[in-house]
Structure 1
Amino acid sequence: MAQTDAPVASHPAAKLAFWTLTSMVVGSMVGAGVFSLPRRFAQETGVAGALISWGIAGTGMLMLAFVFQRLAMRRPDLDAGVYAYAKAGFGEYPGFFSAFGYWASACVGNVTYWVLIMSTLGALVPALGDGDTVLALALSSVGLWGFFLLIKRGVKEAAAINRVVTVAKLIPIVVFVLLALFVFDPEVFAGNFGGADYAGSLFSQVRGTMLATVFVFLGVEGASVYSRHAKRREDVGRATITGFLAVFAVFASVTIVSYGVMPMEEIAELRQPSMAGVLEEAVGTWGKVFVSVGLIVSVLGAYLAWTLMAAEVLFVAAKDRDMPRFLGSATRADVPVPALVMTTALSQVVLVVTYFSEDAFNFALDLTSALTLIPFLLAALFAVKVAAGRGGAVGRGSGGEMTVALLATAYTAFLLFAAGLRFVLISFVIYAPATILFVMARREQGRRVFSPGEAVLLAVSVAGAVLGIVALALGWISI
């Protein structure tokens, strides 16, 4: 199909119904993360810490889900969710950073999918290792660009595939929970309750799991990103809450039941996907194969959904003149191809970087979470402004709306603390060079590049990036 220079707005946007939007939310969240939860939690905490972690994460993410639901209703004029809220609340440059950060986090997150697929196949093909060998890198690269060609066919086709995959991938996860409950050993569970010898204080245990919980919940804003595609505006909020509650129940169950199957010291040593190792311990080899097949289906579906969302954010930012003009073009099939090319290209670059990482999967997982925190924090802060009657919405919000917005803000601020200096600095290394795109967009419009306030933000981001590069060079932090 020939690509045009006109923005996608010149063609009718593909319209998605409630259940399709809900499947996009579920499909976005249920991906690589859920299959890695047993090991990731066992490396940090026992049952008590896990229960607290899920309590905090569930409450915090529910507040964020409510934030996206309320903003979809209170500011129906804003499309593309996270990015649009940051721009409306705090200006063009912060909005640009939000759009870029959200997009970059999706690209990095996509890399975790390929690493996990190759690690899964590595149990059969040793040359693939833990998804971090040359062969794994080559095959993952083929997969990246193969999906690029699939998505280029059109949003409707990709969304339909995602809806089918979402149903298919939930089956092995539900079966895992049921089988784990069947072999559940109360003595093993009790032994794991307080944590292992290597676990620190309860606070440090909980903090250590926070980025993992952020990663698995990424996608809660999926319906908001697709606002312009919704048949009915109210479906955006309903799909967000419905998808969140379903997925939260699944994630918490997978984590907790695993503690009743094996000692956490053994779970912590399993290769990823650790869910497969837990089920193998419970029912034998067939359980490992069953989960591994389910993982590959799940991850490919999540990759599809995230690539769509990433390209959508870049495209809408360009349409709003906050990204260079070339990213605002699309085909007649409603596919923003230039944005899709950049999305796939960044994933390719990050995939190469993970080859040099000590732990490719966990590095990509944590970096994905860290990059998302700034966009989420700005969206929560904008919800505070809207509730206070200063965010462009009609009238002030209720006390409940303000409470939800403040809780969501506090939660995302805590997550930044939990991420630690390492990932904050690495995030700056990624954020700062992105300003080149902002400069390109401003020059295309013949506008002043930076206002005084924007110049201060630029200086902070560049200083953070320089410090991050120095810290990496001197070995203070590592990838």
Structure 2
Amino acid sequence: MASNKSKIGLTALTALVISSMIGSGIFSLPQNMAAVAGSQALLIGWLITGIGIIFLGLSFASLAKLRPHLDGGIYTYAREGFGDLMGFFSAWGYWLCTTVGIVGYLVVAFEAVGTFVDTPDAVIFGKGNTFASFVGASVIAWLVYALVARGIKQAAGVNLVATVVKVFPLLLFIGLAAYFFQPDIFIADWRGASIAAETVADNSIMSQVKNTMLITLWVFTGIEGAAVLSKHARKRLDVGRATVIGVVIALTLYVAITVLAQGVLPRAEIAAMSNPSMAGVLAHMVGGWGKVLISVCLIVSVLSSYLSWTLYATEIPHLGAKNGAFPASFLKFNRNEVPHKSLLFTTLTVQLCLFLVWQTGNSYEALLLISTSMILIPYFLIGAFLLKIAFTENLAPKYKLIGLMATAYALWIVYAAGVEYLLFSVLLYLPGVLLFLYSQRKHHGSWRFNGYEKAILLLLAVLAVPAVMQFVQSLSA
């Protein structure tokens, strides 16, 4: 257990959950959703997401109560329920999701800076993938490294202040959008009839709803924040409370912003906006200063989210090292009770990804594709673990219902994501297998797999063939 030196109270813990969920995605959400869904599908999509994400949040809260001795959430729950290999896959997938996600935060932050300083004749920051962006993002990455190395509690305190700063403009946007909202504009493109010609071949309501799923999943990534940092909570019950409070606040903000925006401007007009699209909608309502406000808010928001996600990305390899899933060096603490080697590993990986973004010219959207595809399995395993113990231990019906609904939502997300995303994630799990094999041999002196785990590895090897073929085809397209 962590000492009082690193304990986090309910308010700071809730702020971490909110901050990690409300990062960059919320500022692009009006355009992202308008591009794939009419008003009817938008409401259905949020209904499914709202129910599913609340039950996922309740799963974290329930497991924190039922298994108070398990610290770390994502990794430890999967390992406890399904063994070392699945625990590692959950940890690896989540670590990649958080690490690539925070690279995306830095990229989009400098893209926002570029809106103030770039001109057609002098592109300095571009889409966050220029040399100037690389240098600036690298500096921030190592400043955050230094801040986190000083202590988890101190970093959480800074995040609390930043969260308050970034939520205020969102509330201002919602208030103004409610004032300018016109029902006839909202229902004008009720079924999204014009979407097919713009973005997709199939504009059925079901297809539109499915297309909203990965978008809504991305903006809720971070729901697990309190569980990941559970050992730092002042009270164990605060883990569940922080998760549920954070989910309800974030869900309310997301639904209000997307629904009200489509009543301020026609769907097709929002869909054609450049991001952050909240800036364009607010500028329509109040003038140019609205765009400046949202751009500044975006920068503050992504930097605070970067901080909270760095805490999560640092914690997971450290926890995995205790059971031989990651190298033993990740177990070591510095004098501030921070797993320093794990933090350094994460920061060096961020630095490498920033270099690759600069060299390849990849944008924020490409990073989100990678990040979101890696969180699908970890979230599924959370609901499945609660469902497993609820039936094997014959717990109260409420736990069975929560586990069932969370698992069903996770399976729906996997279905909505489609084969392309799943094959893409297979490619990213393969390097993790090599790390797991190395760590297992170092920790135990040999590889230890049961029949079930051997079958999983065989399935992964089989899926690697179409995954590689798909990747090669995408490069030649």
TM-score normalised over the length of structure 1: 0.92
Select which of 56, 67, 76 maps to 1:64: 56
Of 363, 368, 373, 2:376 maps to 373
Aligned equivalent of 2:175: 178
1:162 aligns with one of 154, 159, 162: 159
Distance across 2 between alignment mates of 1:209 and 1:276:
21
Contact kept? 2:8, 2:232, Cα under 8 Å: yes
- RMSD between aligned residues: 2.0
Residues 318 and 324 of structure 1 are in contact (CA less than 8 Å); yes or no, is this contact kept in structure 2?
yes
Classify 1:370/1:348 alpha carbon distance in 2 versus 1 (closer, same or farther; 3 Å).
same
- Alignment match, 1:392: none
Matched, 1:314 2:313: no
SS of the counterpart of 2:474?
coil
Of 443, 448, 452, the residue aligned with 2:441 is: 443
The answer to whether the Cα contact below 8 Å between 1:471 and 1:477 also exists between their aligned partners in 2 is no
Aligned twin of 1:6: none
Counterpart CA distance in 2 for 1:313 and 1:386 is: 23
Query: d(CA) in 2 for partners of 1:462 and 1:135?
Result: 40
Residues 2-21 of structure 1 aligned to structure 2 (within 5 Å): 14-21=6-13
CA gap 1:113/1:311 in 2 versus in 1, 3 angstroms: same
Whole-angstrom distance in 2 between the partners of 1:469 and 1:194: 37
1:123 aligns with one of 105, 115, 118:
115
Unaligned runs of 5+ in 2: 197-202
Q: 1:212 touches 1:366 (CA, 8 Å); kept in 2?
A: no
Cα-to-partner distance string for 1:365-423 (whole Å, 9 max, x where unaligned): 2322221110111111110111013xxxxx42112211111111111011111112222
Aligned with 1:220 (options 216, 219, 223) = 223
SS at match of 2:310: helix
After superposition, residues 30-49 of structure 1 pair within 5 angstroms as: 30-49=22-41
CA distance in 1, matches of 2:185, 2:147: 46
Q: CA deviation at 1:439?
A: 1.7
Change (3 A) 1:207 1:477: farther
Deviation at 1:315, TM superposition (A): 0.8
1:195 match:
192
1:329 aligned onto 2:327: no
Residues 88-99 of structure 1 mapped to structure 2, 5 A cutoff = 88-99=80-91
Establish whether residue 360 from structure 1 lines up as the match of residue 363 from structure 2. Answer: yes
1:342-353 residue pairs with structure 2 within 5 A? 342-353=345-356
**CA spacing shift, 1:466–1:146, aligned 2, 3 Å:** farther
Corresponding residue of 1:135: 132
In structure 2, the partner of 1:239 is 242
Structure 1 counterpart of 2:329, one-letter code: F
Native 8 Å contact 1:387 1:397 kept in 2: yes
Partner SS state of residue 272, structure 1:
coil
AA matched with 1:435: V
Please list the CA deviations of residues 268-299 of structure 1 after superposition, one character each: whole Å capped at 9, or x if unmatched.
12221111111111111000001111111111
Deviation per residue, 1:291-323 (Å, 9 max, x gap): 111111111111100010111111111123321
SS of 1:445's equivalent in the other structure is: helix
Cα 1:356/1:455, change in 2 over 3 Å:
farther
Are the counterparts in 2 of residues 13 and 229 from structure 1 also a CA contact under 8 Å?
no
Deviations 1:327-375 (A, max 9, x none): 1111010111211122123333334444577872222223222211101
Is the 1:36–1:272 contact (alpha carbons within 8 Å) kept by the matching residues of 2? yes
Secondary structure of 2:213's aligned partner: helix
Once residues 152 and 425 of structure 2 are traced to their aligned partners in structure 1, the CA distance between those partners, rounded to angstroms, is 30
- Match of residue 251 from structure 1: 254
Percent of aligned pairs sharing the same letter: 38
